């Protein structure tokens, strides 16, 4: 039986890299997040950003 874990991540400087206004989530980070989900874990964003700003980052 697997223990499902909950992972919460910040965006700036944690998931997203680059200069303000030109930030992106690296492919390696996207891959790691997908692996966590595939293993049955729950991932979420914990940020002070507005939804509109967060949603434009894939």
**Residue pLDDT, tens place only, 1-32:** 579 999 999 887 788 888 877 888 899 999 99
pLDDT of amino acid 16: 86
**Residue pLDDT, tens place only, 34-56:** 999 999 999 998 888 777 766 66
**Count of domains observed in the chain:** 1
Domain assignment present for 23: yes
Place of tokens 């939804």: 51
pLDDT of amino acid 22: 85
pLDDT of amino acid 56: 61
pLDDT of amino acid 55: 67
The closest of 39, 56, 29 to 2, measured between CA atoms, is 39
Domain assignment present for 21: yes
Identify the domain containing residue 13 by its residue range: 6-55
Domain assignment present for 50: yes
Beta strands 42-45 and 6-9 are parallel
Domain assignment present for 19: yes
Domain assignment present for 45: yes
Domain assignment present for 1: no
pLDDT of amino acid 47: 81
């Amino acid at each position: 039986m697997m223990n499902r874990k909950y992972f919460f991540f910040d965006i700036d400087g944690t998931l997203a890299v680059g200069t303000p206004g030109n930030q992106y989530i690296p492919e390696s980070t996207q891959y790691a997040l997908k692996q966590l989900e595939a293993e049955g874990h729950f991932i979420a964003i914990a940020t002070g950003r507005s939804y509109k700003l967060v949603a434009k980052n894939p």
